Protein backbone atom coordinates (compact mmCIF):
# COMPACT_ATOMS: atom_id res chain seq x y z
CA UNK A 1 0.00 0.00 0.00
CA UNK A 2 1.29 3.43 -0.90
CA UNK A 3 0.07 6.85 0.14
CA UNK A 4 -2.24 7.95 2.93
CA UNK A 5 -0.96 6.88 6.34
CA UNK A 6 1.32 4.20 4.97
CA UNK A 7 5.05 4.66 5.52
CA UNK A 8 6.90 6.46 2.76
CA UNK A 9 8.66 3.69 0.86
CA UNK A 10 12.27 3.80 -0.26
CA UNK A 11 12.94 2.48 -3.72
CA UNK A 12 15.75 2.10 -6.18
CA UNK A 13 16.32 1.03 -9.77
CA UNK A 14 18.57 -1.77 -10.96
CA UNK A 15 21.45 -0.89 -13.25
CA UNK A 16 21.88 -4.44 -14.51
CA UNK A 17 20.71 -5.71 -17.88
CA UNK A 18 17.22 -6.96 -17.01
CA UNK A 19 17.65 -9.87 -19.45
CA UNK A 20 20.46 -11.08 -17.19
CA UNK A 21 18.21 -12.62 -14.56
CA UNK A 22 21.03 -13.84 -12.35
CA UNK A 23 22.79 -10.47 -12.12
CA UNK A 24 19.51 -8.60 -11.65
CA UNK A 25 18.30 -10.93 -8.89
CA UNK A 26 21.69 -10.70 -7.17
CA UNK A 27 21.52 -6.93 -7.18
CA UNK A 28 17.94 -6.85 -5.92
CA UNK A 29 18.69 -9.25 -3.06
CA UNK A 30 21.65 -7.09 -2.03
CA UNK A 31 19.45 -4.00 -2.09
CA UNK A 32 16.76 -5.80 -0.10
CA UNK A 33 19.34 -6.42 2.61
CA UNK A 34 20.03 -2.70 2.73
CA UNK A 35 16.33 -1.97 3.18
CA UNK A 36 15.16 -1.29 -0.38
CA UNK A 37 11.37 -1.66 -0.34
CA UNK A 38 10.42 -1.40 -4.03
CA UNK A 39 12.65 -2.10 -7.02
CA UNK A 40 12.33 -0.94 -10.61
CA UNK A 41 13.92 -2.50 -13.64
CA UNK A 42 14.22 -1.12 -17.16
CA UNK A 43 12.25 -3.04 -19.77
CA UNK A 44 13.71 -1.85 -23.07
CA UNK A 45 12.81 -4.95 -25.09
CA UNK A 46 10.78 -8.15 -25.17
CA UNK A 47 13.55 -10.33 -23.73
CA UNK A 48 13.70 -8.09 -20.67
CA UNK A 49 9.91 -8.24 -20.31
CA UNK A 50 10.02 -12.03 -20.49
CA UNK A 51 12.68 -12.12 -17.76
CA UNK A 52 10.32 -10.46 -15.26
CA UNK A 53 8.67 -13.73 -14.21
CA UNK A 54 11.97 -15.43 -13.39
CA UNK A 55 13.18 -12.37 -11.45
CA UNK A 56 9.91 -12.11 -9.50
CA UNK A 57 10.19 -15.68 -8.32
CA UNK A 58 13.53 -15.06 -6.63
CA UNK A 59 12.97 -11.71 -4.91
CA UNK A 60 10.80 -10.57 -2.01
CA UNK A 61 9.97 -6.92 -2.71
CA UNK A 62 7.55 -5.46 -5.27
CA UNK A 63 8.95 -5.22 -8.79
CA UNK A 64 8.23 -2.32 -11.14
CA UNK A 65 8.68 -2.44 -14.91
CA UNK A 66 9.92 0.77 -16.46
CA UNK A 67 8.57 1.03 -19.99
CA UNK A 68 8.72 3.69 -22.63
CA UNK A 69 6.17 3.80 -25.44
CA UNK A 70 5.78 0.12 -26.29
CA UNK A 71 2.52 -1.23 -24.91
CA UNK A 72 3.49 -4.80 -25.85
CA UNK A 73 6.32 -4.64 -23.33
CA UNK A 74 3.84 -3.50 -20.69
CA UNK A 75 1.45 -6.33 -21.54
CA UNK A 76 4.22 -8.93 -21.36
CA UNK A 77 5.55 -7.54 -18.06
CA UNK A 78 2.05 -7.69 -16.59
CA UNK A 79 1.63 -11.23 -17.86
CA UNK A 80 4.93 -12.12 -16.17
CA UNK A 81 3.56 -10.93 -12.84
CA UNK A 82 5.11 -7.47 -12.40
CA UNK A 83 3.71 -5.47 -9.46
CA UNK A 84 3.56 -2.03 -11.06
CA UNK A 85 4.13 -0.54 -14.48
CA UNK A 86 5.75 2.78 -15.11
CA UNK A 87 4.45 3.99 -18.45
CA UNK A 88 3.03 7.26 -19.68
CA UNK A 89 -0.35 6.59 -21.28
CA UNK A 90 0.00 9.68 -23.48
CA UNK A 91 3.06 8.15 -25.11
CA UNK A 92 1.62 4.70 -25.83
CA UNK A 93 -0.14 5.64 -29.06
CA UNK A 94 -3.67 4.63 -30.07
CA UNK A 95 -6.52 4.50 -27.58
CA UNK A 96 -6.79 0.80 -28.22
CA UNK A 97 -3.25 0.19 -27.03
CA UNK A 98 -3.76 2.29 -23.90
CA UNK A 99 -6.96 0.42 -23.16
CA UNK A 100 -5.21 -2.93 -23.54
CA UNK A 101 -2.63 -1.91 -20.89
CA UNK A 102 -5.27 -0.45 -18.58
CA UNK A 103 -7.46 -3.55 -18.87
CA UNK A 104 -4.50 -5.81 -18.10
CA UNK A 105 -3.62 -3.71 -15.03
CA UNK A 106 -7.23 -3.77 -13.85
CA UNK A 107 -7.39 -7.51 -14.24
CA UNK A 108 -4.21 -8.03 -12.20
CA UNK A 109 -5.03 -5.20 -9.82
CA UNK A 110 -1.74 -3.40 -10.33
CA UNK A 111 -1.02 0.33 -10.44
CA UNK A 112 0.44 2.48 -13.17
CA UNK A 113 3.02 5.10 -12.41
CA UNK A 114 3.02 8.10 -14.65
CA UNK A 115 6.58 9.39 -14.79
CA UNK A 116 6.89 12.94 -16.05
CA UNK A 117 10.38 14.27 -16.59
CA UNK A 118 11.20 17.95 -16.99
CA UNK A 119 13.71 17.07 -19.69
CA UNK A 120 11.26 15.27 -21.98
CA UNK A 121 8.05 17.26 -22.06
CA UNK A 122 5.63 17.45 -24.98
CA UNK A 123 6.51 19.96 -27.70
CA UNK A 124 3.30 21.98 -27.42
CA UNK A 125 3.74 22.37 -23.66
CA UNK A 126 7.34 23.46 -24.08
CA UNK A 127 6.19 26.07 -26.62
CA UNK A 128 3.44 27.26 -24.29
CA UNK A 129 5.31 27.31 -20.95
CA UNK A 130 8.97 26.45 -21.61
CA UNK A 131 10.64 23.74 -19.54
CA UNK A 132 8.83 24.76 -16.36
CA UNK A 133 6.98 23.13 -13.46
CA UNK A 134 3.71 24.37 -14.99
CA UNK A 135 4.41 22.50 -18.22
CA UNK A 136 5.31 19.32 -16.28
CA UNK A 137 2.14 19.52 -14.19
CA UNK A 138 -0.01 19.97 -17.27
CA UNK A 139 1.72 17.00 -18.88
CA UNK A 140 1.07 14.84 -15.79
CA UNK A 141 -2.58 15.88 -15.74
CA UNK A 142 -2.98 14.90 -19.40
CA UNK A 143 -1.70 11.40 -18.65
CA UNK A 144 -3.94 11.17 -15.59
CA UNK A 145 -6.96 12.21 -17.63
CA UNK A 146 -6.36 9.45 -20.16
CA UNK A 147 -6.41 6.87 -17.39
CA UNK A 148 -9.37 8.38 -15.58
CA UNK A 149 -11.39 8.38 -18.80
CA UNK A 150 -10.86 4.63 -18.86
CA UNK A 151 -12.05 4.51 -15.25
CA UNK A 152 -8.58 3.65 -13.99
CA UNK A 153 -7.57 5.28 -10.72
CA UNK A 154 -4.80 3.07 -9.34
CA UNK A 155 -2.25 5.73 -10.22
CA UNK A 156 1.02 7.11 -8.87
CA UNK A 157 2.76 10.10 -10.34
CA UNK A 158 6.31 11.38 -10.42
CA UNK A 159 7.25 14.74 -11.83
CA UNK A 160 11.01 14.98 -11.74
CA UNK A 161 13.45 17.72 -12.61
CA UNK A 162 17.22 17.58 -12.32
CA UNK A 163 17.26 20.92 -10.51
CA UNK A 164 15.81 21.25 -7.04
CA UNK A 165 13.69 24.47 -7.19
CA UNK A 166 11.56 23.42 -10.21
CA UNK A 167 11.28 19.89 -8.76
CA UNK A 168 9.87 21.20 -5.49
CA UNK A 169 7.54 23.61 -7.25
CA UNK A 170 6.26 20.97 -9.67
CA UNK A 171 5.38 18.52 -6.90
CA UNK A 172 3.74 21.24 -4.84
CA UNK A 173 1.63 22.40 -7.76
CA UNK A 174 0.66 18.84 -8.61
CA UNK A 175 -0.17 17.94 -5.00
CA UNK A 176 -2.68 20.82 -4.95
CA UNK A 177 -4.42 19.51 -8.04
CA UNK A 178 -4.68 15.78 -7.49
CA UNK A 179 -5.02 13.30 -4.67
CA UNK A 180 -2.99 10.40 -6.06
CA UNK A 181 0.15 9.21 -4.25
CA UNK A 182 3.35 10.82 -5.49
CA UNK A 183 6.70 9.19 -6.11
CA UNK A 184 9.42 11.71 -5.26
CA UNK A 185 12.78 12.17 -6.87
CA UNK A 186 15.31 14.59 -8.25
CA UNK A 187 16.25 13.06 -11.57
CA UNK A 188 19.89 12.73 -12.66
CA UNK A 189 20.91 14.36 -9.41
CA UNK A 190 24.62 13.70 -9.88
CA UNK A 191 27.48 12.08 -8.05
CA UNK A 192 27.10 11.03 -4.39
CA UNK A 193 28.15 14.34 -2.83
CA UNK A 194 26.11 16.73 -5.02
CA UNK A 195 23.34 14.21 -5.46
CA UNK A 196 22.91 13.60 -1.75
CA UNK A 197 22.53 17.32 -1.09
CA UNK A 198 20.11 17.84 -3.99
CA UNK A 199 18.00 14.83 -3.01
CA UNK A 200 18.00 15.70 0.66
CA UNK A 201 16.83 19.25 -0.02
CA UNK A 202 14.35 18.39 -2.78
CA UNK A 203 12.81 15.24 -1.32
CA UNK A 204 13.26 16.45 2.26
CA UNK A 205 11.45 19.74 1.68
CA UNK A 206 8.45 17.94 0.19
CA UNK A 207 8.32 15.13 2.75
CA UNK A 208 8.55 17.76 5.49
CA UNK A 209 5.39 19.30 4.07
CA UNK A 210 3.54 16.01 3.97
CA UNK A 211 4.00 15.39 0.24
CA UNK A 212 5.19 12.02 -1.08
CA UNK A 213 4.33 8.33 -0.83
CA UNK A 214 7.53 6.79 -2.16
CA UNK A 215 10.93 8.09 -3.08
CA UNK A 216 14.00 7.29 -5.03
CA UNK A 217 17.25 9.01 -4.33
CA UNK A 218 19.06 9.11 -7.64
CA UNK A 219 22.86 9.05 -7.38
CA UNK A 220 25.48 8.31 -10.00
CA UNK A 221 27.34 5.60 -8.16
CA UNK A 222 26.30 3.09 -5.58
CA UNK A 223 22.68 1.96 -5.42
CA UNK A 224 23.22 0.96 -1.81
CA UNK A 225 24.11 4.56 -1.10
CA UNK A 226 20.75 5.59 -2.61
CA UNK A 227 18.93 3.48 -0.06
CA UNK A 228 21.06 4.77 2.79
CA UNK A 229 20.42 8.39 1.83
CA UNK A 230 16.70 7.69 1.37
CA UNK A 231 16.42 6.38 4.89
CA UNK A 232 18.56 9.17 6.29
CA UNK A 233 16.18 11.74 4.77
CA UNK A 234 13.14 10.03 6.26
CA UNK A 235 14.81 9.53 9.63
CA UNK A 236 15.92 13.16 9.81
CA UNK A 237 12.31 14.21 9.31
CA UNK A 238 11.02 11.77 11.89
CA UNK A 239 9.19 9.71 9.24
CA UNK A 240 11.13 6.57 10.05
CA UNK A 241 12.28 5.50 13.44
CA UNK A 242 16.03 5.63 13.65
CA UNK A 243 17.51 2.24 14.34
CA UNK A 244 20.37 3.91 16.14
CA UNK A 245 21.39 7.45 16.75
CA UNK A 246 24.89 8.75 17.00
CA UNK A 247 25.75 12.20 18.17
CA UNK A 248 29.29 13.33 17.54
CA UNK A 249 30.87 16.71 17.89
CA UNK A 250 32.58 18.41 14.96
CA UNK A 251 35.67 18.86 17.18
CA UNK A 252 37.41 22.15 17.82
CA UNK A 253 40.51 23.54 19.48
CA UNK A 254 39.41 22.09 22.82
CA UNK A 255 39.48 18.53 21.58
CA UNK A 256 42.49 16.54 22.75
CA UNK A 257 41.63 13.08 21.42
CA UNK A 258 41.25 11.74 17.86
CA UNK A 259 37.49 12.25 17.77
CA UNK A 260 37.16 11.84 13.99
CA UNK A 261 38.43 8.29 13.75
CA UNK A 262 36.63 7.39 16.98
CA UNK A 263 33.30 8.67 15.57
CA UNK A 264 33.83 6.86 12.27
CA UNK A 265 34.67 3.56 13.96
CA UNK A 266 31.70 3.90 16.32
CA UNK A 267 29.30 4.64 13.45
CA UNK A 268 30.52 1.58 11.53
CA UNK A 269 30.00 -0.55 14.62
CA UNK A 270 26.46 0.80 15.12
CA UNK A 271 25.59 0.17 11.47
CA UNK A 272 26.72 -3.41 11.90
CA UNK A 273 24.80 -3.96 15.14
CA UNK A 274 21.76 -2.06 13.79
CA UNK A 275 19.81 -2.00 17.08
CA UNK A 276 18.04 0.94 18.76
CA UNK A 277 20.65 2.75 20.84
CA UNK A 278 21.81 6.34 21.24
CA UNK A 279 25.55 6.92 21.47
CA UNK A 280 27.38 10.21 21.97
CA UNK A 281 31.00 10.67 20.96
CA UNK A 282 32.14 14.07 22.21
CA UNK A 283 35.51 15.76 22.14
CA UNK A 284 35.83 17.57 25.47
CA UNK A 285 34.41 18.15 28.91
CA UNK A 286 32.81 21.51 28.00
CA UNK A 287 29.88 20.21 25.96
CA UNK A 288 30.68 16.53 26.10
CA UNK A 289 29.23 15.37 29.42
CA UNK A 290 25.82 16.98 28.75
CA UNK A 291 25.31 15.07 25.50
CA UNK A 292 27.04 11.93 26.77
CA UNK A 293 24.72 11.78 29.78
CA UNK A 294 21.63 12.05 27.55
CA UNK A 295 22.72 9.07 25.48
CA UNK A 296 22.61 5.38 26.37
CA UNK A 297 26.38 5.31 26.09
CA UNK A 298 28.67 8.28 25.71
CA UNK A 299 32.21 9.48 25.99
CA UNK A 300 33.55 12.94 26.66
CA UNK A 301 37.21 13.40 25.75
CA UNK A 302 39.91 14.90 27.91
CA UNK A 303 43.69 15.19 27.72
CA UNK A 304 44.70 11.79 26.30
CA UNK A 305 41.73 10.12 27.95
CA UNK A 306 37.93 10.11 28.06
CA UNK A 307 35.13 9.77 30.56
CA UNK A 308 32.77 6.93 29.75
CA UNK A 309 29.07 7.39 30.55
CA UNK A 310 26.27 4.83 30.58
CA UNK A 311 22.61 5.79 31.05
CA UNK A 312 23.58 9.21 32.40
CA UNK A 313 26.12 7.98 34.94
CA UNK A 314 29.90 8.14 34.86
CA UNK A 315 31.29 4.63 34.50
CA UNK A 316 35.01 5.28 34.43
CA UNK A 317 37.86 7.17 32.84
CA UNK A 318 39.75 5.34 30.09
CA UNK A 319 43.05 6.14 28.38
CA UNK A 320 42.75 7.31 24.76
CA UNK A 321 43.93 4.09 23.14
CA UNK A 322 41.27 2.11 25.01
CA UNK A 323 38.30 4.39 24.34
CA UNK A 324 36.91 2.51 21.36
CA UNK A 325 37.25 -0.88 22.99
CA UNK A 326 35.49 0.39 26.12
CA UNK A 327 32.70 1.96 24.04
CA UNK A 328 32.29 -1.21 22.00
CA UNK A 329 32.02 -3.32 25.15
CA UNK A 330 29.29 -1.12 26.64
CA UNK A 331 27.38 -0.84 23.33
CA UNK A 332 27.39 -4.62 22.93
CA UNK A 333 26.25 -5.06 26.54
CA UNK A 334 23.15 -2.95 25.86
CA UNK A 335 22.33 -4.31 22.42
CA UNK A 336 22.94 -8.02 22.87
Stretch that binds ligand SF4, among 111-119, 163-171, 192-200, 250-258 (CB under 6 A): 250-258
Residue nearest to ligand SF4 (CB): 283
Residue 275 and residue 210: Cα distance in Å, rounded? Answer: 28
184 vs 299 by CB, closer to ligand SF4: 299
Stretch that binds ligand SF4, among 18-26, 36-44, 246-254, 269-277 (CB under 6 A): 246-254
Provide long-range contacts, Cβ within 8 A and 24+ apart, for 309-313: 309/280, 310/334
34 vs 265 by CB, closer to ligand SF4: 265
- Contacting ligand SF4 (CB under 6 A), which of 18, 214, 251, 266? 251
128 vs 303 by CB, closer to ligand SF4: 303
What size, in residues, is the chain?
Answer: 336
The verdict on 262 binding ligand SF4 (CB under 6 A) reads no
The verdict on 252 binding ligand SF4 (CB under 6 A) reads yes
The minimum distance between CB 316 and ligand SF4, in angstroms, equals 20
What binding mask, one character per residue, do residues 272-301 give for ligand SF4 by CB under 6 A, x or -? ----------xxx-xxx-------------
Contact residues for 56 (Cβ-Cβ < 8 A; gap 6+): 63, 80, 81, 82
Q: What residues are paired with 77 via a beta bridge?
A: none
Residue 79 and residue 104: Cα distance in Å, rounded? Answer: 8
The minimum distance between CB 307 and ligand SF4, in angstroms, equals 12
> What are the C-alpha distances in Å from 252 to residues 68, 282, 299?
53, 11, 16
Query: What string of H, E and C letters represents the secondary structure of 111-136?
Result: CEEEEEEHHHCCHHHHHHHCCCHHHH
237 vs 285 by CB, closer to ligand SF4: 285
Closest C-alpha among 141, 81, 143, 137 to residue 112: 143
- Contacting ligand SF4 (CB under 6 A), which of 182, 255, 269, 327? 255
39 contacts 61 by C-beta, under 8 angstroms:
yes
200 vs 306 by CB, closer to ligand SF4: 306
State the residues that interact with ligand SF4 by CB under 6 A. Answer: 249-252, 254-255, 282-284, 286-288
Amino acid sequence: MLGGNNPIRVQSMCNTDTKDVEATVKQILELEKKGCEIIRVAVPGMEAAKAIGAIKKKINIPLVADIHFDHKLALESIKQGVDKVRINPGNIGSEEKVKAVVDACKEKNIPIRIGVNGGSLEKDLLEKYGQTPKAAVESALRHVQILEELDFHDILISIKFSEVPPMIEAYRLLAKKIDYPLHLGVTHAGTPFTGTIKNAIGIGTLVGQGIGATLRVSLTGSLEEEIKVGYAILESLGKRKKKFEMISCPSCGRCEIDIVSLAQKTEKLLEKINKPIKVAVMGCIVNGPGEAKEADIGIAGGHGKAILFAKGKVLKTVPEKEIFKALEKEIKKITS
